Amino acid sequence: MLDDRFNALKVRFRGFCGQEAARLRAHLAGTPEPDLAALVHGLAGAAGTFGYPEVGDPAIALDQVFLNGGTPTPEALADLADRLEALAAT
């Protein structure tokens, strides 16, 4: 029963990935995301929890950039958006 619930949450997360990719794309297109750091941090945690290192690892790297007071490159954000879209398509 717990496995069923966890799997249902994983499916929901994959669907959510498309929305988050759209937020990143909008940010890259010039519509500032008000809390980009929180978005990336949340993705890092959720992707890790659900076992998606293809999203979690780059999100963790971007989260670290924010924690160090930096700003991720547009290329790194676009890469994360690409990975989110790929996961959402599964």
| Tokens (6 digits) for 69 | 């007071």
Query: Percent of the chain having pLDDT more than 90?
Result: 97
pLDDT of residue 1: 78
How many helices, marked H, and strands, marked E, lie in the chain? Answer: 4, 0
Taking every pair of Cα atoms in the chain, the longest distance, rounded to a whole number of angstroms, is 44
Model confidence, pTM: 0.94
pLDDT tens for 16-52 read 999 999 999 999 999 999 999 999 999 999 999 999 9
Which residues of the chain form beta strands (DSSP E)?
Answer: none
